[in-house]
Structure 1
């Protein structure tokens, strides 16, 4: 399946161009554009003249040097494989290609971030300066880190924070402590002879999760 997806990306016919449904008069240079997706939100910085700089995972640059092919809209397959391989770039696309058919929110993060936004030209200049290949991290350097640095001077991600908070609530819950202790006891009862270090790790893991809950 992986090889089929790679072959399809390299040799499939380019998608047909669509007429943009977006009103460009709504966007100003330096605006932070936000596109809600199914599982996450994608972010970009508007540069003017129907150009959006955004950090997006994309495996294709690692497979080919064909600039015409790479310059086409990043499909979901290219994006997902880029996330897995931690391959990404800050690139410039049209509003249509950036939004991928979704509605666009403008400067929505201004109401969330306590730091006031920088001047629009400075925001755009920062985004333009950062164009090129980057090492992608879903948690530590994604598209939100990029736009937050450009617009507010802070490379943070509220999506990452919310995700980590949710994971911490699950992992550091009392139920998780009970289950860890239960599986540890079952392992001791049915696993035969257990090394002292294994027993100690089981007790410490259960105790640590219990205290963190």
Structure 2
């Protein structure tokens, strides 16, 4: 299993929750697509009005606890990380402050990126509301960006996933990567002292990667 520190690189965010003023909330309209830049990814949500944001977020707590009061609280990094690993998530409603988690909020930035014209705000919000509740999560194939893109543009796609897969393909298929993999394999065999141990480690690592990518 990858160490928890590696997941924190991808999913950790600042624990400081900035207050959202009334003037800031007045900028948002029902059906707006909100973006929150993170360290290495962007989190997305749909504004429903009245300081409410619908967003798809992984969360392990509903699986291990029936305490609804605790589940409704802001999702912490550890809850999120374990939710990603377990592939359990939900489309839930939070305040703008809880959704932003201390980061700057961008509004309808994807309108300039997506070739598809945005739907009417009320239709966008209704689509988001219909999807509220538990949902099967996939880091690559159905994440928060797929959710908002379906709601606002009618197609569940993720530019982040596309860029990530493109980068991985270029890296894996490179000649340098092949050389490094071969050297790593030989080094691991020498260190472990047996091909059986190497096979076990490789099998476990491969299984985990396939689980997260599915």
Identify whether the pair has TM-score above 0.5, normalized to the shorter chain: yes
The answer to whether the 8 Å contact 1:44/1:55 transfers is: yes
What are structure 1's unaligned runs of at least 5 residues?
1-14, 188-193, 195-213
The answer to whether the 8 Å contact 1:88/1:135 transfers is: yes
Q: Give the TM-score, by structure 1 length.
A: 0.75
- 1:146 and 2:108 matched: no
What are structure 2's unaligned runs of at least 5 residues?
1-14, 189-194, 196-214
Query: Which of the pair has the greater relative contact order for Cα pairs under 8 Å at 6+ separation?
Result: 2
Aligned position for 2:59: 58
Aligned position for 1:109: 110
C-alpha separation in 2, matches of 1:181 and 1:80: 31
C-alpha separation in 2, matches of 1:30 and 1:55: 15
Question: 3-state SS of the aligned residue for 2:46?
Answer: strand
1:176-203 CA distances to partner (integer Å, 9 max, x unpaired)?
Answer: 344456778999xxxxxx9xxxxxxxxx
Return the index of the structure with the highest Cα Rg. Answer: 1
1:38-91 CA distances to partner (integer Å, 9 max, x unpaired)?
Answer: 121000000001100000000010011111111111111111111111110000
Q: After the TM superposition, which parts of structure 1 deviate over 6 Å for at least 4 consecutive aligned residues?
A: 181-187
- 1:173 and 2:151 matched: no
1:112-147 CA distances to partner (integer Å, 9 max, x unpaired)?
Answer: 000000010000000000000011110000000000
The answer to whether the 8 Å contact 2:54/2:93 transfers is: yes
Distance 1:182 1:85, change over 3 A: closer
The answer to whether the 8 Å contact 2:74/2:98 transfers is: yes
Question: 3-state SS of the aligned residue for 1:98?
Answer: helix
The answer to whether the 8 Å contact 2:59/2:80 transfers is: yes
The answer to whether the 8 Å contact 2:18/2:103 transfers is: no
- 1:77 and 2:74 matched: no
Distance 1:119 1:66, change over 3 A: same
Aligned position for 2:192: none
